[in-house]
Amino acid sequence: MSQETEAFINHLIAQMTPEEKIGQLNQYSADPELAPDLLRQGKVGSLFNASGALTGHGFSDSGNAEISNHFQKIALESRLKIPLILGRDVIHGFRTVFPIPLAQAAAFNPELASEAASVTAREATANGIKWTFAPMLDIARDPRWGRVAEGNGEDPFLGAQMAAAVVKGFQGDRFSAPDKLVACAKHYVGYGAAEGGRDYENGEISEPTLRDVYLPPFRAAIQAGAGTVMSAFIDLNGIPATADRRLLTEVLRGEWGFEGFVVSDWESIKELIAHGVAEDEAHAGLLALKAGLDMDMVSGVYHNTLGESLRQGKISPEILDEAVRRILRIKHRAGLFEHPFTDTTRISRDILTPEARALARTAARQSMVLLKNNHNLLPLQGFRRILIAGNFIHARGELFGTWTPDGRSEDVTPLDEALRHTTPKGVELWFADSPDLAQNLTHYVDAVVLLIGEHPARSGENCNVSDLSLPPGQAEFVEAVAGLGKPLTVVIFAGRPLAITRQISQADAVLYGWHPGIEGAAALGELLFGTESPSGRLPITFPRATGQVPIYYNRKNSGRPIRNEGLFRTRYLDLPPVPLFPFGFGLGYTQFEYANLKLSHETLRGTLEVSAEVTNTGARPGVEVPQLYVRDLVGSLTRPVRELKGFQRVLLQPGETQRVRFTLQEADLAFTRSDGTFGVEPGGFHVWIAPDSQRGLQGEFRL
């Protein structure tokens, strides 16, 4: 922490009344009804630039620099002239909507995600927002949970890489820069483990799994400098995360050295009453503040109760000062005292630039995952008449995904139009928006492309499903045209892995498009017709059926592992034991071969280089994503059958071979051991360089 900042804050705190201190701990919605006197009296620390709790589902007036400046001006009329910090959910883009975070994770390209976050920061700050409630870093092993769309999938290593990259993209080197945002690592922690995939449900996570799977992305975000953290709604292991002193204070601050502030989730301080750990608001306020929760998002509990708790000596002045200090520190570091206002002319320069759109297109293209491509049906070539059918054929805003309150449908070229633009000369496109029409027209065309999936409103906050099948009205298109003898491509837009086992068997080619954002339609056209090639890889396991969930690659072996022969092995009677597609899987328009795995040493001392040759054996250039996995064969606690430790994106020309190198360090093999300490255990390891989490060249080494 900088001495200048600390001196400034201490000086300020020395002048603040208890009311003004408590004021800094309150965040309210920036609605026009908000009494200006609250601001003038210094009773508000932050405004939340959103119209309400439903911001995640649809358009919500973004406000703009003028409105932010208006509120800021009133706040600066307060006695001590402490500026507000204005926050908003700017999750995967502002006006330039990038693919949903899960899709961005599928690109296995953290630098690209970082650039996207940087564009997002520029657009949001031009609108007077200085703080985003992102990145969402919840590990998700259950795609029934609607918020799987908002995170980076199931893997802690990929999650940690994405976390660091996105935090850097939002914040840059200094978040005081006018075009940078303060990031918020959320939801701390374990929120993705909500039972049954039901949002807001309780969860149980063992300490080793919490430490080795759920915490690493948060730790990476803190190491990358994330200014704030948001507590999760969840009751984890019997303690609501909003009141969990061990996690909010001992781990986050004590172990990791976090110096920013923690904001609650929406009303989650008040919800401590419903959880059954607090008797009333006053009790809830005490629990949260003492746990290390600094800012109250909209519940009003701190505002209503902390003054009295202080007078009664139930909280010490020091604990209040500490919370205020953390909030003022971020405000100071964000440059708000010096530059509280937003330059209103930026809006005309910084929004929806051609560069931003181009980046969104690259991101959409790299995020789509080719799951099947029999007889190299894709890219579509040599077909004169192609039928495009499905519920998404005219999609615009439907391509955005969840949490895009600032996206505008009119900025999106509708899918049918975008496909017309990318169709090669001489190819006729026909369109059908009903299964019946699609069936009739199929007889007259040479190939069929179906654009189906789930609407964005079906994923995101509290949009959980009990059935991972395609939603009603989608599979009907496939049923109508499959088996009619025409090459069939199915493109699926979704915010989660759907159980598409039947569609995979019916179609010749399947491309998973996720919710690809503002340039998704154009990116799809480029991939379908082959001006570009798919290179995305699954950041989450695809189950065959809902009943397979939870299913994830970094599982433990069990005493009766699935791969062994015999009846009494872990299994279902009615499903194969493996997923439909494993973590890390994805095809391109060419083929790759892996050969000659080499390890620099038999024993890891310091570092170990693991390398393999990857050859493009097909006829087109293509990007392969070689992945490094390890397995710790014997541990004091059981160890996952594989853990991702590295990945690269490698562009190879036809016939080209490249030796792909990874370096493993001892620290990469550390885990939470049976005695609760974190470190390595000597012994044997398997290592793979692999195209996905189920295949690859295997070697071994010792530590």
State the catalytic residues. Answer: 265
DSSP 311-360: HTTSS-HHHHHHHHHHHHHHHHHTTTTT--S--TTTHHHHSS-HHHHHHH
Residue whose structure tokens are 């590990």: 139
The one-letter amino acid code at 681 reads E
Which tokens belong to 157? 């290593």
- Pick between residue 187 and residue 303 the one whose CB is nearest to ligand NOJ: 187
- Whose Cβ is closer to ligand NOJ: residue 458's or residue 502's? 458
Closest CA to 142 of 58, 61, 198, 97: 198
CB of 53 to ligand NOJ, least distance (A): 6
Name the residue nearer to ligand NOJ (CB basis): 90 or 527: 90
Q: Closest distance between ligand NOJ and the C-beta of residue 214, in Å?
A: 16
Contacting ligand NOJ within 446-475 (CB under 6 A): 461
- The b-or-e profile of 226-239 (16+ CB within 10 A means b, else e) is bbbbbbbbbbbbeb
Q: What is the smallest separation between the CB atom of 184 and ligand NOJ, expressed in angstroms?
A: 8
State in angstroms the smallest separation of the CB of 462 from ligand NOJ: 9
CB of 133 to ligand NOJ, least distance (A): 3
Q: What is the rounded distance in angstroms from the CA atom of residue 171 to the CA atom of residue 225?
A: 8
Binding map of ligand NOJ across residues 96-135, x = CB under 6 A, - = no contact:
-------------------------------------x--
Q: Kindly tell me which of 86 and 482 has the beta carbon lying closer to ligand NOJ.
A: 86
Nearer to ligand NOJ by Cβ, of 133 and 589: the residue is 133
Q: CA nearest 93: which of 412, 400, 396, 479? A: 400
Closest approach, Cβ 233 to ligand NOJ, in A, equals 6
Contact call for residues 337 and 73 (beta carbons, < 8 A): no
Within 8 A by CB and 6+ apart from 609, the residues are 598, 599, 600, 661, 662, 663, 664
CB of 469 vs ligand NOJ, minimal distance in Å: 26
DSSP-based three-state secondary structure for 302:
helix
| Spatial contact of 304 and 28, defined as CB atoms under 8 Å apart | no
144 binds ligand NOJ (CB under 6 A): no
Taking the least distance from each CB to ligand NOJ, the nearer of 26 and 55 is: 55
Over its C-alpha atoms, the chain yields an Rg (Å, rounded) of: 26
Among 24, 26, 27, 55, binds ligand NOJ (CB under 6 A): 55
Per DSSP bridges, beta strands 622-624 and 650-652 are antiparallel
Does residue 186 touch ligand NOJ according to CB under 6 A? Answer: yes
Per-residue binding string, ligand NOJ, 236-265, x by CB under 6 A, is -----------------------------x
Q: Tell me if 539 sits within 8 A of 138, measured CB to CB.
A: no
> How many residues sit in the footprint of ligand NOJ (CB under 6 A)?
8
Closest to ligand NOJ by CB, 267 vs 416, is 267
The distance of closest approach from Cβ of residue 461 to ligand NOJ in the complex, given in angstroms and rounded to an integer, is 6
Give the span between the Cα atoms of 158 and 619, in whole angstroms.
30
Q: Report the relative pairing of strands 385-389 and 592-599 from DSSP bridges.
A: unpaired
Q: Binder to ligand NOJ among 89, 212, 406, 476 (CB under 6 A)? A: 89
User: Strand locations in 479-599, DSSP E?
Assistant: 488-493, 509-512, 592-599
Residue nearer to ligand NOJ on the CB measure, 44 or 448: 44
Distance from C-alpha of 173 to C-alpha of 335, rounded to nearest angstrom: 13
| Angle between helical axes of 110-126 and 354-367 (0-180°, round to 10) | 140
**Structure-token pair, residue 131:** 């703080």
Amino acid 276 reads G
What would the x/- binding string for ligand NOJ be over residues 261 to 290, using CB under 6 A?
----xx------------------------
Contact set with ligand NOJ (CB under 6 A): 50, 55, 89, 133, 186, 265-266, 461
